[in-house]
Amino acid sequence: MIYNSLDIIPYKLFVKIAETGDISLLSDDEKDLDVLVKLWEKLYDEHLSKNQTSESKKVFKLSKSIDELLALNKVVLMACASLRFEFNQELYDMIIGYGYQLSITDTETYYSSIERIERESNAYVIKAEFYKQMLPDQKENEKSEYGIDDVMASYSLILGFDFDYNLVTYTKYHALQNQVNAKIKSIQKQNTKSDGKS
């Protein structure tokens, strides 16, 4: 299965991918990192268009950049490892496409070029670490906030019915959130009316 829409991806899985950057969780079948990165970008963009707060937009844009940089680092390192073992024209073209210079004039230059590319690809990790420092401190947020399961349990209690938290899709989660907010506003409105009568 491949989660290619916010309508089908479980909300908890979406959050887990956003927190860990493990985009391989998007699919049981697809292993091509470029395909998964593009898919994650699409889901992120949909998420950002639904989410209106500037702080969360900043966090998700930074997380997206971090994920892309780390995925690119992995792709380059895996290509280099494979090229060390055996020359492959597709991998060579991919490495060149990323802007690296891989000399194939002689064996010694070829292997030293691969070593240089591996060293240079660490720049992606360094840049990702720089972006991570720009993120709000997640540990502070985790201490003061409830987990996703706690939030969904609250929603279940407020709405008066139970559901499987692991199966709630991204879209359904936000629909439940809207219903909870509407119910809370209704209760507050009733309480205001009651206070005014007494």
Give residue 111's pLDDT.
92
Q: Regarding predicted confidence, which is higher, 188 or 177?
A: 177
Average pLDDT over residues 89-100: 90
Token pair 């991806």: residue = 9
Please check whether residue 21 is in contact with residue 73, taking contact to mean a CB–CB distance below 8 angstroms.
Answer: no
Three-state SS sequence of the chain: CECCCCCCCEHHHHHHHHHHCCHHHHECCCCCHHHHHHHHHHHHHHHHHHCCCHHHHHHHHHHHHHHHHHHHHHHHHHHHHHHHHCCCHHHHHHHHHCCCCCCCCCHHHHHHHHHHHHHHHHHHHHHHHHHHHHCCCHHHHHHHCCCHHHHHHHHHHHHCCCCCHHHCEHHHHHHHHHHHHHHHHHHHHHHHHHHHHC
Q: Which of these ranges, 86-100, 158-172, 174-188, has the smallest mean pLDDT? A: 174-188
Give residue 30's pLDDT.
75
Average pLDDT over residues 172-183: 85
Tens of pLDDT, residue by residue over 120-172, are: 888 888 888 888 888 776 554 444 466 888 888 888 888 888 888 888 998 89
Please check whether residue 82 is in contact with residue 88, taking contact to mean a CB–CB distance below 8 angstroms.
Answer: yes
pLDDT of 196 higher than 80 = no
pLDDT of 5 higher than 60 = yes
CA distances from 43 to 30, 46, 51, 131 (A): 16, 5, 12, 20
Tens of pLDDT, residue by residue over 43-66, are: 888 887 776 566 666 777 888 888
CA distance 127 to 66: 8
Q: How confident is the model at residue 197 (pLDDT cuts 50, 70, 90)?
A: low
Give residue 141's pLDDT.
46
CA distance 195 to 94: 69
Average pLDDT, the chain: 83
Q: Regarding predicted confidence, which is higher, 187 or 140?
A: 187
pTM, rounded to two decimals: 0.53
Q: Regarding predicted confidence, which is higher, 133 or 195?
A: 133
Residue in 87, 47, 197, 182 with CA at minimum distance from that of residue 96: 87
Please check whether residue 173 is in contact with residue 163, taking contact to mean a CB–CB distance below 8 angstroms.
Answer: no
